[in-house]
Amino acid sequence: MGRDKLRLRCAPYNQRAQRFYQKHGFVKIGEEENSAVPLDIWRNTSATTGERYMQSSRTKASRRPSPRA
């Protein structure tokens, strides 16, 4: 994507999303102010977050059984 840093927002009660973000190198850096709904702000901890995601996806794909011919 040509970006070194990513920042995203996530509902504080969305535990599934938070685990996904943590697994891929994001950390909570704050909370959105003046928002109609509560939102946590997350930032990636390194420029290689996208690479870790791609490696994780490839690993999962390699564990899937191959279709029978």
Q: Is the pLDDT of residue 13 over 50?
A: yes
Q: What angle do CA 2, 11, 36 make, to 5 degrees?
A: 105
Helix (H, G, I), strand (E, B) or coil at 24: coil
* Domain chopping of the chain, boundaries: 7-57
Q: Rounded to 5 degrees, what are φ and ψ at 50?
A: -60, -40
Average pLDDT, the chain: 78
Mean pLDDT of 25-33: 93
Reported confidence tier of residue 21, pLDDT bands at 50, 70, 90: very high
Give residue 49's pLDDT. Answer: 46
Reported confidence tier of residue 17, pLDDT bands at 50, 70, 90: very high
